[in-house]
Structure 1
Amino acid sequence: MALTTSLDDLSVLLVEPSSMQANLVSRMLENQGVRQVSVVGNAQAALESLHKGHADRVVISSLYLPDILGTDLVTAMRRDPLLESVPFILVSSETRPQVLDPICQSGACIIVPKPFTEQQLSLALYAAADYLNPPEDLDLAEMEELRVLMVDDSLASRKHMRRLLSELGIERIIEAEDGRQAVALLQENTVDLVITDYNMPEMDGRELTEHIRTQSWQNTVPILMVTSEQNAGRLAAVERAGVSAMCDKPFEAGGIRRLISGALSRS
């Protein structure tokens, strides 16, 4: 898909069992300039539609579907090589972290709280479109030389981040499943940027940050933390430990690119 400056060329698959809600969202999408909208009522129909040559769509789904949850739908999509990078917008009034965590960890996802305004939907659509478009605001030659250590216990999150980094021209990436593995890799590999989650087994993101800043020979390397953690006290401790920038999960592609650019420019 070419660079999106409007939403006219965006194709949306709306997964909504309520015909009244589907009509309401469809009207909102039309008001935002979206002309290609398909509606299905359950997850199975959504997966079948996406497999019929329409994997470049943006999916907008309710959380509660007749067959499975919307979180299960996005999990199934992320396990499918053809659908793993399809942008997914969840519309839900749910706020419990244990329910929303699969969305936060799966990548290329945006959560729109219900009830929502057209402006909120528009922002989500532009963020989704950003996932489908290559960036133009970074020096790709510089990015190609960048060496990145990516630390996250979620395979889905690592795969999604790797896709975003590849779009930036970054291919020199090593991965760790937790802070302890990251420490071992840092002893043997020189890196230009560390991107880490917060909640991980063995050694979490705060502990990893503290180790890098106080014990690693690479103690000045920029550290970008991408996390679904909401506890203000824990996040404040992470900031004190010395992270260069922080970003919430789920995150927008454009936002993560700006954070990477900013972290590198300050190093």
Structure 2
Amino acid sequence: MTTSLADLSVLLVEPSHMQANLVTRMLQHQGVRQIKVVDTAEAALAALTEGAAAGWVVISSLYLPDMAGTELVMAMRADEELESIPFILVSSETRPQVLEPVRQSGACSIVAKPFSEQQLSRALFAAADYLNPPEDLDVAEIESLRVLLVDDSLASRRHLRRLLEELGIERITEAVNGKEAVDLLQETMVDLVITDYNMPEMDGRELTEYIRTQSWQNSVPVLMVTSEQNTGRLAAVERAGVSAICDKPFEAGNIRKLISESLTR
């Protein structure tokens, strides 16, 4: 089921009055009717806590007066009532080390400034898709699917687990790195492995190579969800035998599509 953008309630966190007006006009032009604007992270958290059941989507600038947008999203992910709220970061920042916490937090999108209304619209539809999982997947197949989720980021694992559970997948095993995943694969049969790339002990490429060359489950689909941007490293992952690669932050629909394709294979 796809939600109309008119059904979304957007909380815009933007300290610049001019930028807030610009984004508000874009949202209204896209059909969004419920828009609340605040200028600090503290005000945003207060609004979200007060109306946690309102179906919020948060659009936030990176640099806020009281904390960074990265800290805001991490505060949301640490709160059980707020952790599943879609988060969209709007920023001109390009440094990977600054944006990495947002990528790992399970953000829906990072929209680079300056941005067009179409780019903002795509981010909104990604948030709507996250809030409304499809109903057309085979329930029996989904419920029987056994997934191994490998990521050293707790926030990323929680975000992916929510997506999987919304699809009806309940048999989920977690590992914090490739080495722990190898131990689990030796004794636990799985139908799908979803793994990060950058992890301590054993990274995603090494895990994929192990699965393809040494594991008794060498044909299991391996989906890599990663913020890695180095094309050489990603090419090495493809050569190792990964089934598909999905960027962080990812659109929920892409993950669902890849999972559906792995089922048909």
Deviation digits for residues 62-109 of structure 1, max 9, x if unmatched? 000000000000000000000001000100011111000111001142
Deviation at 1:53, TM superposition (A): 1.9
In the alignment of these two chains, the number of paired residues is 264
CA distance in 2, matches of 1:263, 1:134: 18
Task: Calculate the TM-score normalised by the size of structure 1.
Answer: 0.97
SS class of match (1:247): strand
RMSD: 0.9
Query: Which residue pairs with 2:88 in the alignment?
Result: 89
Matches within 5 A, 1:145-156: 145-156=144-155
Deviation at 1:187, TM superposition (A): 0.5
Gaps spanning 5+ residues in structure 2: where?
none
Q: Where in structure 1 do 4 or more consecutive aligned residues deviate above 4 Å?
A: none
SS class of match (2:263): helix
Write the letter of the residue equivalent to 1:220.
S
CA distance in 2, matches of 1:63, 1:91: 7
CA distance in 2, matches of 1:145, 1:4: 25
SS class of match (2:148): strand
Query: Which residue pairs with 1:112 in the alignment?
Result: 111
CA distance in 2, matches of 1:53, 1:141: 35
Deviation at 1:128, TM superposition (A): 0.5
CA distance in 2, matches of 1:138, 1:90: 30
Query: Which residue pairs with 2:11 in the alignment?
Result: 13
CA distance in 2, matches of 1:137, 1:245: 22
Gaps spanning 5+ residues in structure 1: where?
none
SS class of match (1:188): coil
Query: Which residue pairs with 1:126 in the alignment?
Result: 125
CA distance in 1, matches of 2:134, 2:240: 31
Deviation at 1:265, TM superposition (A): 2.0
Deviation at 1:140, TM superposition (A): 1.8
Query: Which residue pairs with 2:21 in the alignment?
Result: 23
Write the letter of the residue equivalent to 1:171.
E
Identity %: 78
Write the letter of the residue equivalent to 1:187.
Q
Query: Which residue pairs with 1:249 in the alignment?
Result: 248
Query: Which residue pairs with 1:60 in the alignment?
Result: 59
CA distance in 2, matches of 1:102, 1:134: 25
SS class of match (1:72): helix
Deviation at 1:110, TM superposition (A): 0.8
CA distance in 1, matches of 2:158, 2:77: 9
